[in-house]
Chain A
Amino acid sequence: MKKWWILLVAFAVWIGLGCILLPPEHAGSAFERRPSHAPTRIVSMAPSLTEILFSLELEENIVGVTQDSDYPPAAAEKRAVGTFWQPNIEAVIALKPDLVVTLDLEQHRNMTDRLTRMGYKCLSLDILTVADLFTAMPVVAAATDRTQQASQVLSNIQTRIATIREATTGRGRVRVLWVVQRDPLRVAGRNTFINEMIELAGGENAIGPTFHVYPPIGGEQVIASAPDVIIEPDMIGGDLAGQRVQALSYWGRYPTVPAVANGRIHVIDGSLVSRLGPRLGEAVEMIAKYLRPEVFGE
C-alpha cells in the first residue's frame, strides 16, 4: 500500500511543478514582433488567400504560399509551405514571416494558435460565403495597407455581378445541378457558396434544402430535380473536352432529364469556381454563360 501513496505524492508533485514552472499562458511565448509598418514578408496558407493577396498587388511581399496555390501563375514560383490541408509549420517559420494569413478552419487553428503564441502575427479569416469575402477583403487590406486596391477589387466584382443581374431579371431561373463527385453521386446543396454563385448567375439549385451540405443523391432525385443544366467542376486539372465526353456518356442514363435531352452538360475549370476570392466576378460570369448562352454567349 505504501508504494501507491508514494506514487500519488510523486504525481501530485509533478503536476504542481508543471503548474509552477510552465504555466499554460506563458508556454511557448517567444519575443514579440509586431511591426508598425506594413508587412513585407507574408505567407499565405490557402490558394484562395494567395489569390486575394495577389489581387492586392502584394506580389513582392509574399514569401510563401501553399503548394496548391496555382493562380496567378506567379504564385507557383513562390516557396511552398506544405499544402492547404497539411501546412508545414517549420517551413513557415524558416521564412521569417511578419504576417501569416490563414483560414479559420480546423486544419489551420492549431498552427495559427501556435504561431501566435510564438509571437508571429497571424490573420485568421473566415471565408465561407460571398458576404464573408466582402468582409474579409477590407480586413486583409487594412493589415497590409492596401485599402484602395481592395475597394477596387470588390467594386469590380460588384459591377460584374450587377451586369449579370440586370440581364437576367425578368427571366425565369435556370435549374442547375452542380455535381461535385459522380461516383457516388454528390452535389452542392443549398448551404454552400456554390449555391450563392448559381443564384448570382441567374440560376437556381435544382436540389432543394437538404440535411447534408454536399448531399449524396440517387438517380431518383436526379430525375425529380429535373435540372436544365448539369455542371461538373473539374478538380483534377485535366483535359476538359475529354471529361465532357465521359460526362455525356455517364448522364446518358437519364434521357428524360432536360439537361441531358438538350445536351447541356458542362465540365468547367474547377479552380475558378472552388475558391472564394477576387475572381468571383469571373466565376459568376462563366456560370452565367453556361446558364444563358443566348444572352451571354460569345
Chain B
Amino acid sequence: MQQFLSPRTLCLRVAVTAVMLVAVMLLCALVGPERISLRTALAGINGSALPNPDYEILVHIRVPRVVLAAIVGAALAAAGVALQALLRNPLADPYILGISSGAGLGATLAIVGGFSWTLWGRSPVAVFAFAGALGTVWLVWVIGRITGKFHVTGLLLAGVVVNAFFSAVIMFLISMARGQQLHATMFWLMGNMAEEDFFVLWIGAGCVMAGVVSLYFLAPQLNAISFNPVDARSMGIHVERVQLLVFIVSAFVTAIAVSLSGLVGFVGLVVPHAVRLMLGPDHRQLLPIASICGAMFLVVADTAARVIVAPAQLPVGVVTAIVGGPFFLVLLVRYNRKVSWLR
C-alpha cells in the first residue's frame, strides 16, 4: 500500500481518471436505443434549418443525460467518502442520515399533490425533494445534538429513526395515490434520470464541484478524524467544526444529487469502498478519485438502464443495485480476507 502520497502522484492519478471519465462519457453518448450517425449529428451543429433527429438526439437528449449521470455519480461518491470518514462507519452512505427518506417524502408530496408550477426551471418534485433532504438533515442534526455532543451513535440512531418514520409517511401517501402517481413515485424512489436543461446541469455541476473541492480542502483533517477523533483534537484540529462543515457540505451535495435524479442507491456506498481498496484510505486522494469514479460508474449504469430493455428504460437505481450489490459483496469478502491476513 502507498505509504506516502506525493502531489505529483496525486495529480497524475486524478488526471488519468479524469481522462477516462471523459472517454467513457463520449462513448456512452454514442450508445442508445436509437442508432444515430455521428457524421449526420455533427453536421447539425452548424444549425441547419432542416430537422436533424440525429443531432437532436445526441445534443439535446443523450449529452444532457450523460452529464447529469456524471454529476449525480460524483456527488454521491464524494458524499459517501465524507460520511464514511465522518461517522467512522464503513456502512455509511449519503443516505444514512435520513436524506433519502426526507427527499422521498418531499418528492412524494409533490407528486401526490399534483402541483404544476416551476421554480427556476425546476419541477415541484425537484424543489420539494431538495427541501425535504435539507430539512431532514437539519432535523437529524438537531436530534443528534440533543442526544449528546456530536456522538456519532446519536446521529446514526437519529438518522435511522427519522428514516423509518418518514418511510412510513411515504408508504401512507403511496397507499392513497392514484395509479399513475404511484408509478411516478416508485420510479422516483428507484432513481430516475431525465434529460435536463444545460442551465440546470451547469448550476448542478458547479455546486457539486464546489462541494467536492471543499471536502478535498478538509481531507487532511478528515484523515486525522477518521483515524481517531481524540488524537485529532490533540493535534490542534477543531474536530467539531470540521465535522459540522463536512456534514453540511455532504448533505448539500447529496441534496443536489437527489433533487436532480431521485434516489440512486449504492453509488455512494460501493464506489468509495472500491477506490479505498484499490488506492488506500488517504482522503486527499480518495475524495477526488472516488468522485470521478462515481461519475464514471453512474454514466455506465445509466447507459445500461437506457439500453437493456430498449425501447423502454429501467430506473437507474435498479441497475446500480443489481451491479453494485454483488460487487460490494465480493469487495467485502476480499477486504475481510486482506484484513485477517494482515493480522
Contacts and interface: CB of A to CB of B under 8 A. Distances in A.
A245 interface: no
A107 B203 contact: no
B53 A93 contact: yes
Contact of B311 (A18, A81, A110, A117): A81
Contact of B199 (A7, A24, A213): A24
Contacts of B49: 31
B176 interface: yes
Interface of B: 32-34, 47, 49, 51, 53, 56-57, 60-62, 111, 114, 116, 120-121, 123, 125, 175-181, 183-184, 187, 194-195, 197-200, 202-203, 206-207, 209-210, 213-214, 217, 310-313
A118 B60 CA distance: 8
A91 interface: yes
B119 to A, nearest CB: 11
B57 A27 contact: no
B184 A105 contact: yes
Contact of A33 (B51, B121, B310): B51
A86 B206 contact: no
A3 B220 CA distance: 14
Contacts of A86: 187, 312-313
Contact of B210 (A11, A33, A110): A11
Given A33-B51, A82-B313, A118-B56, A106 B210 contact: no
Given A82-B313, A106-B125, A107-B184, 18 more contacts: A4-B214, A7-B213, A7-B217, A18-B202, A24-B197, A31-B51, A90-B62, A91-B33, A91-B34, A93-B53, A93-B57, A93-B61, A94-B53, A106-B184, A107-B187, A114-B61, A117-B197, A212-B175
A22 B199 CA distance: 5
A105 B114 CA distance: 9
* A contact residues, range: 35 or more
Given A28-B197, A94-B53, A110 B123 contact: yes
Interface in A155-211: 211
B217 A4 contact: yes
B121 A88 contact: no
Nearest to B114: A106
Nearest to B51: A96
A83 interface: yes
Given A211-B176, A214-B178, A96 B210 contact: no
Nearest to A215: B176
The 7 A-B residue pairs whose C-beta atoms are closest, nearest first, are A106-B184, A27-B197, A18-B202, A14-B206, A90-B34, A22-B199, A24-B121
B203 A18 contact: yes
B123 A109 contact: yes
A281 B62 CA distance: 43
Interface in A64-103: 67, 80-83, 85-86, 88-91, 93-96
A91 B313 CA distance: 12
B166 to A, nearest CB: 20
A263 interface: no
Contact of B198 (A15, A28, A91, A107): A28
A219 interface: no
B312 A30 contact: no
B298 to A, nearest CB: 19
29 contacts: A7-B213, A17-B202, A22-B198, A27-B198, A30-B56, A30-B60, A67-B311, A81-B311, A86-B187, A86-B313, A89-B195, A90-B32, A90-B61, A91-B33, A93-B34, A93-B53, A94-B34, A94-B53, A94-B57, A106-B114, A106-B181, A107-B183, A109-B116, A110-B194, A110-B195, A117-B197, A211-B176, A212-B176, A213-B176
A82 B57 contact: no
Contacts of A89: 61, 195
A83 B312 contact: yes
